[in-house]
Amino acid sequence: MAEGILLIISGPSGVGKGTVCRYLLTVREALKLSISTTTRSPRPGEEEGKEYNFTTTPQFEAMIKDGSFLEWAVVHDHYYGTRHETVQELLGQGKDLILEIDIQGAEQVRERVPEAVSIFLAPPSMADLEQRITGRGTEERDRINSRLETARREMDAYHAYDYLVINDTVENAAGLISAIIDAERCKVSRGARPPGRGGENK
């Protein structure tokens, strides 16, 4: 079985990565979302093992030491990381896998997995992004300010990515990402073969 495609999706805080990724999962059956490990506390409605694996700082640091992570980073004062095990298991089953991770993590994955496909999700305008961050209403003022500052800085990272997708509507952004996955699947360099040359004959 062909290995799945490893997709990195990053973008500034508040751009709507989570919404776009969740929508994508409903329209592409073979697509899975990697569950990260984090030391931040669950937000209302978040469940252990669903949005994240929630853990403590000492436990996370022990996992760094024993080499459990494909990548990890500190984002807004908390640890976040992707475990090797999660990635290997799902790609090995032929599933395409989304890593919804920050720009530091994306850099590490690009280095370690050169065939990973990286997508930068950007807002239609900076005013739109600021409104989304301010309007989320789940955080205190200084958290919001820190997110705004990080978001503006994160926008500069787009040039290191393979693709840029504007999140004007969830459907449009997900449609473009879906087209990127289809195009990657057609790549000869990724193992696409015609019938009689190793391709499936349906």
Shortest separation between residue 28's beta carbon and ligand 5GP, angstroms = 20
Shortest separation between residue 22's beta carbon and ligand 5GP, angstroms = 12
Shortest separation between residue 201's beta carbon and ligand 5GP, angstroms = 40
Q: Check: CB of residue 96 under 8 Å from CB of residue 30.
A: yes
Residue sitting closest to ligand 5GP (CB): 105
The residue (of 77 and 200) whose beta carbon lies closer to ligand 5GP is 77
The residue (of 16 and 81) whose beta carbon lies closer to ligand 5GP is 81
The residue (of 63 and 75) whose beta carbon lies closer to ligand 5GP is 75
Shortest separation between residue 74's beta carbon and ligand 5GP, angstroms = 9
Shortest separation between residue 92's beta carbon and ligand 5GP, angstroms = 19
The residue (of 107 and 184) whose beta carbon lies closer to ligand 5GP is 107
The residue (of 5 and 87) whose beta carbon lies closer to ligand 5GP is 87
DSSP for the chain, written as a single string? -PPPPEEEEE--TTS-HHHHHHHHHHH-TTEEEPPEEESSPPPTT--BTTTEEE--HHHHHHHHHTT-EEEEEEETTEEEEEEHHHHHHHHHTT-EEEEE--HHHHHHHHHH-TT-EEEEEE-S-HHHHHHHHHHT-SS-HHHHHHHHHHHHHHGGGGGGSSEEEE-SSHHHHHHHHHHHHHHHHT-GGGT---BTTTB---
Instruction: Give contact residues for ligand 5GP (rule: CB under 6 A).
Output: 13, 17, 36, 40, 71, 73, 75, 80-82, 100-102, 104-105
